[in-house]
Amino acid sequence: MAVYTEVSDEELGTFLSAYDVGSLRSYKGIAEGVENSNFLLQTDKGSYILTLYEKRVAPQDLPFFLGLMDHLAAKGIACPTPIHGRDGQALRSLAGRPAAMVSFLNGMSPRRILPAHCAGLGRGMAQMHLAAEGFKLTRANSLSLDGWQRLYGETKTLANDVAPGLEGLIEAEVAWLTANWPAAESLPRGIIHADLFPDNVFFLNDKLSGVIDFYFACHDRLAYDLAICLNAWCFEPDGMFNISKARSMLSAYRDVRPITDAELTALPMLARGAALRFLLTRLYDWLNRPEGAWVKPKNPMEYVQKLRFHQSVSGPGAYGLD
C-alpha cells in the first residue's frame, strides 16, 4: 500500500517506448499491493498497471509469475495479462528494479465480505486451479514447513515481547505441523495462488471480476489455497468464524472441482498451517518494521486467534461441509 520508488519522466518514457500502448495521459501511484510499487497508467489506448518489483520478490521468480498470468489469461481466467513489448518481452528494468506492465482489471475489492463473495471466490479459485494445469514452469512454496521453521527461528527471541507465551505457542505448532503435515503425494497438487486475500480479488456487482497479485503463486496442495481463504475470508471482524461463508466458498469450489475425501479430512490441518504462515510473516514484519516505516504492519495477533479456532475443530464439518 505504498509507492517505494520514484520513476523519472525520462526513465518512464524510455520504458514505455518499448511497447505499443499509445501515448501516456496520466500516471498515478496507487495504494495496491503491500510488496511492490504500483502505478496506474492511462494512455489513449487504455489503462495499465505498471509494477516495480521491490525487495521481497525474487527476480528469478518473475518469469514464473508473469508466465503464469499469461497462461491463465489465455485460458480465460480474469487476471492481469502481461503486456509484451515489441521485442516480445514482458519483463524489463525501470528505475533499477525489475518491472512489468499488465492489463487493467475492472472491479473492486470487497470491504465487507458477503457469502456471495465467498461463493464467487470458491468458483473462481477452482477455475484457476484447473486452468493452471499444463503450465510448464515450477516454483516451490517457500512459505511452507521449511519457511515456517526458518521464520520461527528468526522471531522466537522477540515473540514474547509481542504477547506473553507467543513463542511457546508457535514452537508447539511448528512441531505439531512438522510431525503431521500431509505428505506431498497424499493430496492433489497443482499451482495455487497462495495469497487470495480480499485485497487481491475484485468484484463487480457481487460477481468476481478478477484476481490479482500472483507473487506468492507456487506448487502446493490445491486444498491449501482453500485453507488460506478459510482464514482470510471466513472470520468476522470480531474474530468469530462464520460457517455460512465457509460453506458458500467450499460448495462453490466443489461445483467446479470436486474436493476429495483426503482433502476434506486434511482441511483443519491445512487451515492451521495457513494460520501459522500468516501469523509468522506478520510477526516477522512486526518485529522488523523499519524505523519511521511508511507502512503500518498488520497485527500478527489476529492470526493467533484464527489458529486457536482451527486447533479446536474436531473435523471438516466445522467448515460447513461433511
Positions that interact with a second copy (CB under 8 A): 1-3, 6-10, 24-32, 40, 42, 47, 104-108, 110-112, 202, 204, 289, 292-296
Instruction: Evaluate whether 39 touches 49 at the Cβ level (below 8 Å).
Output: yes
Of 10 and 261, which CB lies nearer to a second copy in the complex structure? 10
Task: Compute the Cα dihedral for 15, 18, 21, 22 and give only its sign.
Answer: positive
3-class SS at 194?
Answer: coil
Nearest distance from C-beta of residue 255 to a second copy, angstroms: 25
Of 3 and 158, which CB lies nearer to a second copy in the complex structure? 3
Instruction: Evaluate whether 174 touches 28 at the Cβ level (below 8 Å).
Output: no
DSSP code per residue over 156-169? HHHHHHHSTTHHHH
Nearest distance from C-beta of residue 138 to a second copy, angstroms: 33
Q: Which residue has the cell 516477522?
A: 284
Of 138 and 205, which CB lies nearer to a second copy in the complex structure? 205
Nearest distance from C-beta of residue 153 to a second copy, angstroms: 26
3-class SS at 91?
Answer: strand
Which three three-digit cell numbers place residue 73?
Answer: 489469461
Nearest distance from C-beta of residue 226 to a second copy, angstroms: 24
Nearest distance from C-beta of residue 101 to a second copy, angstroms: 16
How buried is 73 (Cβ within 10 angstroms: 0-12 exposed, 13-18 middle, 19+ buried)?
Answer: middle
Of 116 and 145, which CB lies nearer to a second copy in the complex structure? 116
Of 29 and 182, which CB lies nearer to a second copy in the complex structure? 29
